Amino acid sequence: GGSGGEKQRGVWSLFKRKRCAQEDKERSISGNNWLWLPPKLLEEQDRGFRRSAHWGRGKAGAMTLTATACESQTELLAAQGAPSNMKAKLLCLYTGGTMGMKHNSAGMLEPIPGYLTEQIQDILNCHTSEALPDTTVVEYDTLLDSCDMNPENWKKIALDIQDNYQSYDGFLVIMGTDTMAYLASALSFMLENLGKTVVVTGSQIPFVKTYSDARRNLLSSMTLACSLDIPEVTLFFDDKLHRGNRSRKADSGSFDAFSSPNFPPLATMGLSVQVNKQLLLPQPKARFKVHTTMDFRVVVIKYVPYFDTNALMRLAKHGGATCRAIVLELYGTGNGPQNDERLLSALHVARQNGIVVVITSQCAAGSVLSTTYSINHHLTSIGVVPAGDMTTEATCAKLAYLFGKGLSPDAVATSLTVNLRGEIGNFSQGAQAKL
């Protein structure tokens, strides 16, 4: 407990000590008196009755704390003891990116093989009394800038998680930030029936720099990946744990580089870990499996006032073999020029040729609405699908996933508005089990 200055071992969250029901109600609690609690026990705070609390998850490294007759958190920890000789197991997949970069002989930053892996080992050696999990680092043979990562690299990450799924309690992917939201969105669909936490992170400044955000992001991600019951792909940056398929890179010059414009963070780091439990996905009921057949024949077009609609018509007429879907970023709530007959004609031709047309918004936040303006009605009348509040990153990943399932264009258009992984607001429910 907090008295005596001893810190219990395990995966801890810092939470200021409060009075419990059976403790002296008149006792004055010092501002420096802290109680270290496992995150899974935070919810048990101030409940003075018998309870049981489970620490950890899965067969690997799982452990249980059961309160029998303890009337307070202090008594609970004292009676059961913190899990000091058993730790959760974390698999860290290091793919490249800014975090592990150093300056080369030309003064340019590039990933240095072995460097970040050594730093992680140093961190583990320096924090033996802290609550970091037992961590295995797999450094990929070729460390890539995230701009060079493609669906084949995403597939490798998914398969590495699959191969090690039963042996680890959580997973951490370290990569560059530029395409991080694309990977997080893709993995959220590829990892079916995911029952453990996958955290994707990186940094804006290399670990080697004294003012870097790398150490903080790394330590926080390592801890959260094995301490929270969040069965989904997440993205951690600065102090927020976002749902992966709701995130996007929003600021290239800030430590707070990622946002989740239409969905609150799943958790926020402060003096304690604040988890928005009502937002979390439920534990799956089926066996975990990986779906790697993704069809990324998707074209994203940003519509501007001087857009050449003839180019869109050429794609609609002749692009069917190489383009399965067009994601068209329009204005505001999915608005476009209603007097441009060429636009509506091109989209109609695309639908006739089996190309799914999806409308997203150029706005950073908000949703595409299908009934607000007359142009929205014209678009939906020819079979154009509103993306709702999905990000463009999630929309493209979901299209690739649905086409990879072998669905017809009409089935893909219908399924696109069904919430599969928490990627979209409450447009349609009920088809989750089928996909």
Mean pLDDT for back-to-back runs of 10 residues, the chain (435 residues): 40 34 33 35 33 32 30 34 65 97 92 95 82 93 96 98 98 97 98 98 96 95 94 97 97 93 95 94 96 97 92 91 94 87 93 95 88 71 92 98 97 95 73 48
Residue 179 is predicted with a pLDDT of 97
The pTM assigned to this predicted structure is: 0.78
> Among residues 95, 98, 135, 417, which one is catalytic?
98
- State the DSSP H helix or E strand holding residue 190, giving kind and residue range, or none if neither: helix 180-190
Quickly tell me which residue has 């050429």 as its tokens. Answer: 314
> Do 2 and 33 contact (CB within 8 A), yes or no?
yes
Q: Return all residues near 276 (Cβ < 8 A) that are at least 6 apart.
A: 264, 265, 266, 267
- Measure the N-to-C terminal CA separation of the chain; round to a whole number of Å: 46
Catalytic residue list contains 98: yes
What are all long-range contacts of 68-71, with beta carbons under 8 Å and residues at least 24 apart? Answer: 71/20, 71/21, 71/22
Residue 9 is predicted with a pLDDT of 34
The Cα 370–Cα 377 span in angstroms is 6
The Cα 258–Cα 193 span in angstroms is 26
Convert the pLDDT of each residue in 217-236 to its tens digit: 999 999 999 999 999 999 99
Residue 435 is predicted with a pLDDT of 65
Residue 128 is predicted with a pLDDT of 74
Sign of torsion, CA 100 105 109 111? negative
SS3 of residue 354 by DSSP: coil
Residue 337 is predicted with a pLDDT of 85
The Cα 393–Cα 76 span in angstroms is 45
Structure tokens at 403: 């086409």
Residue 372 is predicted with a pLDDT of 64
SS3 of residue 313 by DSSP: helix
Residue 127 is predicted with a pLDDT of 79
